[in-house]
Amino acid sequence: MREDEASSGPRVLIYSHDTFGLGHLRRSRAIANAIVSGDGWARAVIVSGSPVIDHFAFAPGVRTVRLPPVVKFLDGGYGSRDAAVPLDRTVALRTDIIARTCAAFAPDMIVVDKEPAGFHGELLSTLAWAAERGIRLVLGLRDVLDEADRLVPEWERKGAVETMARFYDEIWVYGLSRIHEPLAALPMDPETAARIAERLTFTGYLRRDLPERRPGREEPAMAKGPFILVTAGGGGDGAALIDWVLAAYEADPGIPLPALVAFGPFLDDAARAGFDARIRALAGRVSAITFDSEIEFLMSKAAGVVAMGGYNTFCEILSFDRRAILVPRTEPRREQAIRALAAESLGLVRVLMEEDGREPERMAAALRALPEQTEPSRVLVPGLLGGLEAVARRVRALAGSGLGDQRVRACS
């Protein structure tokens, strides 16, 4: 451990495989920032495969380690981002970086995001190493994983339930059971199910605050007045959403509020070029940006939001109390649809399912009605946004005792 990293507070390593999009990285950032903000002596390291991790700012006390990135193909398979490098070589390199980072940082706790064994099992050796040394192991899950018919065979193939039961001291679900129970459909024998239930905590959703404003930050002129924010998250699978919104503005010149579209950094270049041409033809009623790593500022100003319904965007909609239309994707997972429809049933958002028809008039009618929707705060859901506070409490409880002795074991 480097001398300048010495600290009397808990040391938490957060692993995020990040094969696609921005969701895992942004969730890990929120958790890490909350941990160090709640305890000035705490330190956190995020180990991530996100190729855009350098675009984000982190709280003092949070460091990042970048893993060689991988990409996900349309058929569900994976490859190295550098196509000349075999995937197994990339996984071996990632495994080595994770192990060396753990040994150097000497964490009191490791929080793993979503994948119990890591990407292609790259975390298994580190989990065994940590368990031998008494390092606390936590699996963090978003509120929804997928429908049972997709989730069960995937987790069985990966041996995820066995890994979860063998290694993890606690399992945190960043949501509420009344919206979804992500592990309920998994087949488990009674003994394993009982062990998992004892370790399971529903934290509530992860509240988001405005970040510290980056020096020299500039915003589009449209953000100075009332506008609708259209965000496709990372953008890699957001083209259909953007197309539908643009079609609505093309079909209905009377939509009262203009739209600001955030394409996302992973939107296909050809798709973006086509959208840019259509936006120019809309003569100021729609404008676009590529990406905003501080999109919370735009979210907080918007009169309403149109989004796909990924976990982080949903947390921001709740946190900034924005009226929202969600258009969830259903491939390759139905995660967004499950979340969105459950939230709509509680009165928190409005949902448009593409399978019910993509007529421009449907979207235009929803955009017209958006300013009159009920804000999420008008719906009383106990514990809805208590996730970060719950995480900070569990970190103090799990990693707050015997830190010095544990670090000696970790470094031995």
Give a yes or no: residue 214 inside a domain: no
Supply the pLDDT for residue 410. Answer: 43
Q: Is residue 234 part of a domain?
A: yes
H or E element at residue 307: strand 304-307
Specify the amino acid at residue 225: G
The DSSP H or E segment spanning 344 is helix 335-345
Does 151 lie in the same domain as 8? yes
Domain assignment of residue 403, yes or no: yes
85 shares its domain with 141: yes
228 with 346, same domain: the answer is: yes
**Residue type, position 19, single letter:** T
Neighbours of 254 (CB within 10 A): 6
**273 and 404 share one domain:** no
Q: Is 33 helix (H, G, I), strand (E, B) or coil?
A: helix
Q: Are 143 and 270 contained in the same domain?
A: no
Domain interval for residue 241: 221-378
Does one domain contain both 234 and 268?
yes
Which residues are within 8 A (CB) of 258 and not within 5 positions of it... i.e. 6 or more apart? 222, 225, 227, 228, 284, 285, 286, 287
Inside any domain, residue 124: yes
pLDDT score, position 405: 44
| CATH number (domain holding residue 63) | 3.40.50.2000
**201, part of any domain:** yes
Task: Quick: pLDDT tens for 29-59.
Answer: 999 999 998 777 899 999 998 887 887 889 8
In this structure, are 143 and 175 located in the same domain?
Answer: yes
Q: How far is CA 2 from CA 58, 61, 399, in A?
A: 20, 14, 20
**Residue whose C-alpha is closest to residue 138's, from 237, 1, 35:** 35
> Is the domain of 342 the same as that of 396?
no
- Is the domain of 300 the same as that of 252? yes
State the amino acid at position 88 in one-letter form.
D
Residue 213: inside a domain, yes or no? no
Residue ranges, the chain, pLDDT below 70: 1-7, 19-22, 74, 76, 400-412
19 and 86 part of one domain: yes
Instruction: Characterize the bridge pairing of strands 136-142 and 286-289.
Output: unpaired
> Is the same domain home to 176 and 271?
no
> Per-residue pLDDT tens for 345-399?
999 999 999 999 999 999 999 999 999 999 999 999 999 999 999 999 999 888 7
Rounded distance, CA 13 to CA 45, Å?
Answer: 5
Asked if the structure places residue 215 within a domain, the reply is no
Rounded Cα distance between 260 and 267, Å, is: 16
Residue 404 in tokens: 């010095």
- On whether both 53 and 77 belong to a single domain, the answer is yes
Task: Determine the pLDDT at residue 52.
Answer: 78
Q: What is the model's pTM?
A: 0.88
Q: Is residue 137 part of a domain?
A: yes
The total domain count for the chain is 2
pLDDT for 398 equals 84
